[in-house]
Amino acid sequence: MAKAITAFARKHGGADGQVAYIGERGARIVLVGADGNWGDLVAPTHAIATSAVERSEITVHEDFDGEFAAKVKTGPYEWTRMAGIQVGGPAND
């Protein structure tokens, strides 16, 4: 996982991340590149996720707060997928 995080950071001019516990499934690592592109990984445990972000040497945030979230660049896909469906936009089938 650390290699994937490091590769993402290199491709996007650096990266910040946040680890969130998602229950029995483990932990989600959200990555936001310096260019605004984002992605995520799911680790089987919170410990594995934490170790991976530490080894990749990215900046890690405790929360996905407003300042961190503002770094995310969104496009039409995200708007229709996350909000468009609820407000009458086109569905992504």
Beta-carbon contacts of 30 under 8 Å, excluding residues fewer than 6 positions away, are: 17, 18, 20, 38, 39, 40, 64
- Scanning the chain, the segments in alpha helix (DSSP H) are 2-11, 46-56, 66-69, 76-78
25-50 confidence digits (pLDDT tens): 899 999 999 999 988 999 999 999 99
Q: State the chain's mean pLDDT as an integer.
A: 85
CB atoms within 10 A of CB 43: 20
Q: How confident is the model at residue 24 (pLDDT cuts 50, 70, 90)?
A: confident
